[in-house]
Amino acid sequence: MQNRVTFEYAIIRVVPKVEREEFFNVGVLVFSKRKKFLGIKYLVNAQKLNCFACDLDLDTINSYLQAWEKVCKGVANTGRICDMELSDRFRWLAATRSTVLQTSKTHPGLSDNPAEDLERLFTEFVL
């Protein structure tokens, strides 16, 4: 318990029709400044996507999420955002937007291991 530090997380959502504000959860972002951790885990259920919006392309959604993953990892040559500090990258990913991919408001927590919390939150909110 003595290694517990604060962390933040946001749920990643697909919002097929932004004007209707209907969504379903597809992933989780977790950030811990003290543990120097920024992680993402996602899975888009193709059947659910088809029920919500058959005109959305699964490959396109997955390519956007892969770009988010590259931002989390700070992959070189993928744009200026990847050169920023972890906290700035998390804030950029979790910023309010009116697009097909959105995040919830950020939520705080305490953690010994942010990677384990990422798995737990993914199971709880996405699966």
Closest to 64 in 3D by CA, of 14, 24, 111: 14
The predicted-structure confidence for 74-121, as pLDDT tens digits, reads as follows 988 778 888 899 999 999 999 998 889 999 999 999 999 999 999 999
The four Cα atoms 76, 82, 85, 90 give a dihedral, to 10 degrees, of -140
CB 62 within 8 A of CB 100: no
Residue 10 sits at the vertex; the CA angle it makes with 9 and 13, to the nearest 5 degrees, is 155
Average pLDDT over residues 14-25: 87
Tell me, what's the pLDDT at 6? 96
